[in-house]
Chains A and B, each alone.
Chain A
Amino acid sequence: MNFVLLIKAGHAHAAAMSAYHFARAAIQKNHIIQQVFFYQDGVYLANNLATPAQDDIAVSQCWTQLAEKYQIPLLVCVAAAAKRGVLDQETATYYDKSVTNVEQPFVLVGLGQFAAALANADRVISFDGVC
């Protein structure tokens, strides 16, 4: 099955880590993770300045390793990211900021990339924060 995962919560919630476990399990069962899309506070996962405590789980690092091993696109909504201070070189230049904090395999893209991916998805699984 072809999955698209939508992650909508940041470090304060288990959403991104639950999604990671889901993705690993799906891959083990030979399913395809077509795309992981980070939206709303989920974009904070792309911030490479985030520094978890030593005895904490490094969620972004888990995703980076999984994405590199299985060639999973980690796409981050550029508008949601920019307003939360998550910037790659292009957006930093555009908004005249001196710092960037996004690196591969996380990529800032338009929300349209998620909308386009829906066309081929067998399932879209959304991981939310609960509050």
Chain B
Amino acid sequence: MKKVLILNRRAPYGTTVAAEALDLALLSNAFEHEISLVFLDDGVFQLKREQTQPLLTQRNISLTYTGLAEFGIEKIYVEKTSLAARGLTVADLLIPVKLLSSQALGQLLATQDILLNF
């Protein structure tokens, strides 16, 4: 089985990209690949707390992130400067994550078999 890393770079709503990346993560996990999720750029907003239903234009996907650990997806990384640039800290996030510098992110990417960019 492969080490599959999914890069999430887009805001959670406005497009279906985040939702379709999540579907792919869950399916690949079901096929016993080792899944890592990285959130960077506007992708860090996907993990923001308090994504409240009435304000959304699409299905609220935030519950899926809180359920990831149940499926054994626990390698979840957030790129540090993306988070800070958007005025966020780990306290603003839905789930526990590992913070990575861009340099550490580069090292992580180098250890993977497959990178999928969303």
Contacts and interface: CB of A to CB of B under 8 A. Distances in A.
Interface size class of B (residues with CB under 8 A): 10 to 19
A121 B114 contact: yes
A112 B31 contact: yes
A2 interface: no
B115 to A, nearest CB: 8
Interface residues of A, number: 17
Interface string B26-42: 01101101000000000
A40 B20 contact: yes
Contacts of B33: 115, 118-119
A54 B98 CA distance: 52
B84 interface: no
A103 to B, nearest CB: 24
A39 B4 CA distance: 17
A88 interface: no
Closest 4 CB pairs of A and B: A115-B31, A115-B28, A111-B27, A115-B27
Interface of B: 1-2, 4, 16-17, 20, 23-24, 27-28, 30-31, 33, 114, 116-117
